[in-house]
Amino acid sequence: MQTALVPAGVQAGRILELWHLTLAVCCVVFAAILLACLIAIVRAPRANRATLVDLSSIDRPQPRTRFWVVVATGVSTLLLFGLLFADVMTDRALSRLPVDDALRIEMTGYQWWWQARYLGDGNAPGFMLANELHVPIGRPVIISLKAADVIHTFWVPNLHGKKDMIPGRDATIELRADKAGVYRGQCAEFCGYEHALMAFSVTADPPAQYAVWAAQQRQPATSPADNVALHGRDVFMSHDCARCHTVRGTDANGTIGPDLTHLASRQFIAAGTLANNRGNLAGWIVDPRTLKPGTIMPGTRLPPADLQALLVWLETLK
């Protein structure tokens, strides 16, 4: 779900209230303008081709018209200042979210994917994943925002407003999910060729369910249980995959691409572009640029047996 009209957190609710107020004011102003135009059309004098041109109204004083222009200007000014006041109050309300015992995440935008680093939580160590977040319901989250290359914008409309991510400047956004669900996030600043395919998901889980998920994410990849998966791991390690990606528990420690330690537990690949299934994963490995033009990931041509073994091993990374 990706809509600002169905808030799942207190801050998104405040933004929706401001949206409703702005929409109501604009509708009233629009209706008033239409009414004024209608009155002017109805009261306008009728003429035909034989009617002489009457320019006397140009120099004629029009105190009544001037009065209504002054009234309309004053009302418009009051409405604009009212909206400005409501905007300021909404901004203050957004900044007053209690952040005691907050979960801390560092989110970095790349062309065109997201890296999420969960910082240590109490005595529990941090961990890394890509293109998705999980947060516990009812607990505040502080997300540090960074841009690795160009300007990106972090936006999860169900939970909060937009926040720019500017290279060389760190920013933070504070949010809290109050309803369970999966909410789609998006880069909201044009950042290059694949801007439209730079998405991520935020899953709001009950606290106990989140704790189970986080404990699983902290674990390294499990060792292959059969010869096919073992061969698939060897294929991964012997090609460029291991130079670009990290899989904790193996010798793969590349940092160019996303961390794949728990790839099989994710709903999507390629930053929300494709469902995470064997067919899409195979296509992504062999020729990613046909699926997401502009991606920097190169294609890897493999013999069918090696490709199938690699897919079997990647599906064990849960």
Return per-residue pLDDT of the chain as tens, 318 residues: 789 999 999 999 999 999 999 999 999 999 999 998 998 888 877 777 777 777 777 777 778 878 888 888 999 999 999 999 999 999 999 888 898 889 999 999 999 999 999 998 888 899 999 999 999 999 999 999 999 999 999 999 999 999 999 999 989 999 999 999 999 999 999 999 899 999 999 999 999 999 999 999 999 998 888 899 999 999 999 888 888 999 999 999 888 999 999 999 999 999 998 999 999 999 999 999 988 888 889 888 899 999 999 999 999 998
pTM listed for this prediction: 0.85
Rounded-to-integer distance, Cα 172 and Cα 12, Å: 16
Answer whether 1-36+64-218 and 227-314 agree in fold. yes
Rounded-to-integer distance, Cα 80 and Cα 84, Å: 6
How far the first Cα of the chain sits from its last, in Å, is 24
| Domain residue extents for the chain | 1-36+64-218, 227-314
What's the confidence (pLDDT) of residue 51?
Answer: 78
- Residue 270 in contact with residue 295, Cβ under 8 Å? yes
Specify the CATH architecture of the domain 1-36+64-218.
Sandwich (2.60)
Q: How many residues does the chain have?
A: 318
What's the confidence (pLDDT) of residue 208?
Answer: 96
What's the confidence (pLDDT) of residue 133?
Answer: 96
Which of 150, 148, 158, 211 has the alpha carbon at shortest distance from 181?
A: 158
What's the confidence (pLDDT) of residue 230?
Answer: 92
CA 3 to chain centre: 10
Amino acid at 145: L
Phi, psi of 223 (to 5 degrees): -75, 145
CATH class of 227-314: mainly beta
Rounded-to-integer distance, Cα 244 and Cα 130, Å: 14
What's the confidence (pLDDT) of residue 200?
Answer: 95
What's the confidence (pLDDT) of residue 154?
Answer: 97
Amino acid at 19: W
